[in-house]
Structure 1
């Protein structure tokens, strides 16, 4: 069900647990005090925009960095998530032991975004949109329909890109249709996705290793590396991280990988949620995940009190 249908079911007692839209959290905490039990945690993962790194002009790292610099992600979090999230500094969130504390990030800087586009050979047209070789910088962003959060986020992002001279058309659709018709065959510019990491930073291998971004015999990429991203140095570090046992050495290895991934900008990390799940009092044993995962990770500990 969509967000509002699920929320109504929770409030009517038809279901026992839901993660409501962030905009509803404060109301639920007040109206249902003692009737619904809140469980809060920070997500070890992110909502993010994947960029097709093999499709011009997105194969130019300067264009990808410009797309990132153009977005005020803090403002988007306030507007689309009611402040119930944080901007991920890099691909490994601060809740992880492998997080790189001194990561150099691509923050909100619209002037830098335009400078990068100019360095990439674009000039601003009379309509305010950058163009190159007579072609306007017009991109499409696909996202899943039925989510008020995604609709608000993509609307704000489109407006911010427009402000720096990038024309982005947002198309909302069913996830399976988006995946099968656009992401897997590589027929897309950008798409909004979500990913949850595990306790181990090896999760990055499944998203950013170049071997997983290569099309199969049918021309499809069925892995999480929908960006078709391939940096040999990142590949080497992710492989080395798998072989190394010493935690401090692994943290250093993954720190290097994090910085390279941020620099290459194959994705725009939009937010890591601060989730508040609500469950009915009859559900017992509900705890949050200490590493920043999901309430459902400890589902096996739950029981129903009748």
Structure 2
């Protein structure tokens, strides 16, 4: 009887076979269009966001990992302990991990990675984030400790950035063109000017991703990206031009994911230069800004209003947009109190970014209504870096600050907008050295509130992440709290 199938059993077997066939036909590959091609593929040797878009948490991994909400999660470290004085972090590492060339991962690789970051000839773009590491010590093959010269509140977060992914001494020198990491996807090939191909790494130590292959296609032109999406030549893109999203909204073949990024867009103000060194003038400008009109005109409605330099998806964010609400009458009164009853003239230097130049035109109109006459000066990015960022030769500018948790820039009086507040500097020092999360949140909110009240810059909006994807794809990050396009959760659904 064991060799004979009944009619019902045969039917069930046939159904199972057909279901298996259907599952076998389910796509397991994805083709993603991205606007910029990375200059190299080693995130520890370059600052370009385009590098992390391809490799972060895909090819390379860190001791910790940053999730979609910006929270720190375990990575290659399964757990850690922190000493009572917050100066020693001890990490237990996952065992059985291999790099994509088959070499084993252990604590020696971690020590090598950080010795390399801190070396005198290091080319790491954010070496400064790790200079408080006094010693990285191998305790045993799967335990490593870090001793810090002072407490660093963001230490675990910084370990999860692309700048701190773990590399092996056997392959590190070639990672720029042939990256070898421990992640769920292995590098296959880079056709420069066209694409990068990744394949699932079957011996991966963690949960295998659903995708078996991912291809990044470099498409810098919006019209070409639109055509590729509509033709099905690519399955999605993580950040599409907002002015062209209408093509896909309401189309059942696509899903549009709108989230936030780390890009705080500001009306950068030269606080060291009259009349902007006058608080009442800065307050007047803040009251003259109609954020929603700027968002509607410059981002086609996809930005999120901000009242301080902090991303709305961050757990420490506080909504301060009401500190100086749009009120032209209040703006005029403050200008008169500051000694400018008839307003004043100023220049607004604009880099070659669509959101900046569109925002500039709108702000010029809003400021004109309260008596501030702006001359718009369009500059190329190299000139903007020279004039504004380096030489501080500007009145006003518009730019997005995209680094995570960069509120500390305001504690540097030599930074380009020249804000010099000793009390704020002391607060940031305390924040940087605080490890307790609840206390860190209190301090971060206090810092945001000071900057909002001082109207250090005109806080406009958070740049949106506007992804366009095949409607049958799921698992993409809606928000972008850190540079990257993480593949591990992406999968096809019926």
Instruction: Provide TM-score, normalisation by structure 2.
Output: 0.50
The structure-2 alpha-carbon separation of the partners of 1:241 and 1:82, relative to structure 1 and needing over 3 Å to count, comes to same
Quote the offset at 1:146 in angstroms. 5.3
2:481 counterpart of 1:288: no
| 194 and 245 in structure 1: CA distance in 2 versus 1, 3 angstrom threshold | same
Cα pair 2:311 2:317 within 8 Å, conserved: yes
Report whether the alignment pairs 1:95 with 2:310.
Answer: no
Residues 88 and 272, structure 1, Cα contact 8 Å, conserved in 2: yes
Name whichever structure is richer in helix by fraction: 1
Is the CA contact 2:283–2:331 (under 8 Å) kept in the aligned structure 1? yes
User: Could you tell me which residue of structure 2 aligns to residue 264 of structure 1?
Assistant: 454
Alignment of structure 1 residues 98-113 onto 2, 5 Å: 98-100=316-318, 105-113=323-331
CA-CA distance at 1:180 after TM superposition: 0.8
Query: Is the aligned partner of 1:297 residue 2:492?
Result: no
Question: Is contact 1:38-1:277 (8 Å) kept?
Answer: yes
CA contact (8 A) 1:184 1:226 kept: yes
Return the TM-score normalized by structure 1.
Answer: 0.78
CA contact (8 A) 2:256 2:466 kept: yes
Contact between 1:138 and 1:166, CA under 8 Å: does it hold in 2?
A: yes
1:10 corresponding residue in structure 2? 225
2:290 to 72, 75, 86: 72
Q: Deviations over 1:91-131 (max 9, x none)?
A: 2233211123577612211111111111111132xxxxx2x
Any gaps of 5 or more consecutive residues in structure 1?
Answer: 125-129, 131-136, 215-224
Query: Is 1:178 aligned with 2:384?
Result: yes
Sort the Cα spacing of 1:102 and 1:264 in 2 relative to 1 into closer, same or farther, 3 A.
closer
CA distance in 2 between counterparts of 1:146 and 1:264 reads 27
Matched, 1:273 2:463: yes
Aligned to 2:16: none
Asked if 1 retains the 8 angstrom alpha-carbon contact of 2:307 and 2:319, the reply is no
Structure 1 contact 21–81 (Cα < 8 Å) conserved:
no
Select 2:357's aligned residue among 133, 151, 162.
Answer: 151
Counterpart of 2:318 in 1: which secondary structure? coil
CA offsets 1:22-63 (integer angstroms, 9 cap, x no match):
2321222345x42x5533322233111110011111111111
Q: Which moved more, 1:178-187 or 1:158-167?
A: 178-187
Are the equivalent residues in 2 in contact too, given 1:44–1:96 (CA < 8 A)?
A: no
* Preserved CA contact (<8 Å) 1:17 1:280: no
Counterparts of 1:85 and 1:103, CA distance in 2:
14
**What's the counterpart of residue 202 of structure 2?**
none
1:189 aligns with 2:395: yes
Q: Residue 163 and residue 43 in structure 1: after superposition, are their counterparts in 2 closer, same or farther (change >3 A)?
A: same
Alpha-carbon deviation of 1:178? 1.2
Alignment check: 8 A CA contact 1:6 1:18 kept: no
User: Residues 49 and 193 of structure 1 are in contact (CA less than 8 Å); yes or no, is this contact kept in structure 2?
Assistant: yes
Using the alignment, how far apart are the partners of 2:447 and 2:485 within structure 1?
Answer: 30
Deviations 1:156-210 (Å, cap 9, x if unpaired)? 1100100100010111121111111333111100111111242xx4x311x2112
Q: What are structure 2's unaligned runs of at least 5 residues?
A: 1-34, 37-218
The answer as to 2:411 corresponding to 1:209 is: yes
| Root-mean-square deviation over aligned CA pairs | 2.9
- 2:424 counterpart residue number: 234
Contact 1:103/1:259 (<8 A) preserved: no
Number of equivalenced pairs: 271
Larger deviation: 160-169 or 19-28? 19-28
Q: What are the Cα deviations for residues 202-221 of structure 1, in whole angstroms up to 9, with x where unaligned?
A: x311x2112xx32xxxxxxx
Verify: 1:139 aligned to 2:346, yes or no. yes
- The whole-number CA distance in structure 2 between the counterparts of 1:144 and 1:304 is 38
CA contact (8 A) 2:243 2:299 kept: yes
Query: Which structure carries more relative contact order (alpha carbon 8 Å, separation 6+)?
Result: 1
Match in the other structure for 1:164: 370
| 2:271 aligned residue | 53
Find the aligned partners of 2:366 and 2:411 in 1 and give their Cα distance: 30
Q: Which of 2, 20, 23 is residue 240 of structure 2 equivalent to?
A: 20
CA deviation profile, 1:219-255 (whole Å, cap 9, x unmatched)? xxxxxx3201111111111110111122111111111
Q: Measure the CA separation in 2 of the matches of 1:102 and 1:155.
A: 25
